[in-house]
Amino acid sequence: MPDPGQTRPVLNRILWPLVIVIVFADQWSKAYFVWLLGSHQHESFTAFLSEYFTLLSSENMRAVSETYGTLVSNSHAVFKPLIWVWEPWIAWNLTTNTGAAWSLFTGNSFYLSFVSLAMALLLFYVWWRRFRTHLGMTWALGAIIGGALGNFIDRFRLREVVDFIDVKIPWIGRLFPNLGDPYDFPIFNVADSCAVCGTLALALYLVLADLSSVRRRRREQAAGRVKPFQEGLGLDEAAAKRLKEMTANQPRFNGTDLTKFLNDGEEE
């Protein structure tokens, strides 16, 4: 079995670069599609970057948009038409969201930014306490943490989240007609993608761990290595007979006798 002190630095070198790469890719891609599909006067993406990353709030963005038309929904900027990647299923389609997924809690982006930050800190604590030597969980939790921090930056800095990946899903509308066919999935971004992939990986790990525990327990039962009373407080007939014999000549049966009886049973 490897020494945890030796494996821990390796996983630290995986977690933090993974989080940094996700945050960088998320922020860079958002800036690029705002430049590509937003209405502004910047011909150079490099020049646009300096303007985009100096924005600190929706109020600042409104002032800047009067000159550059940079963003966003509350600055009344006009977005360019979507660009098809794979018609009619995938397109680049710029939009913003002041709430959470599926536009829940719309208008509370600033408060939701602290939820994103708290989630990232909580997941880091869970990783550090339980999974810092586990490779698969490091990847899964790192993806979720990176996604949470990517959207935290948008919510705190811009008061809304930039989305640009528009996907339509076939066949779902046939099962749920109210959703439409094809189903127009809510527009998302890189941070959302990483968080969802990490969550699915986490769920898969938990399911596999539970199945592994069930198989191990069945093997122990088949090999006769199951500990006494592991299934609960139920006693077999031999145990019941022994208990009856012990209490036959005693007016009272106290806790000490019961403890001694259970300990004797385990030793046998």
Q: Which residues carry out catalysis?
A: 163, 192
Backbone angles phi, psi at 255, to 5 degrees: -65, -30
Q: What string of DSSP letters covers 203-241?
A: HHHHHHHHHHHHHHHHHHHHHT-PPTTTT-S---HHHHH
Q: What string of DSSP letters covers 46-91?
A: HHHHHHHTT--SHHHHHHHHHHH----GGGTPPPPPPEEEETTTEE
**69/80 Cα distance (integer angstroms):** 12
Closest C-alpha to 166, from 37, 23, 27, 61: 37
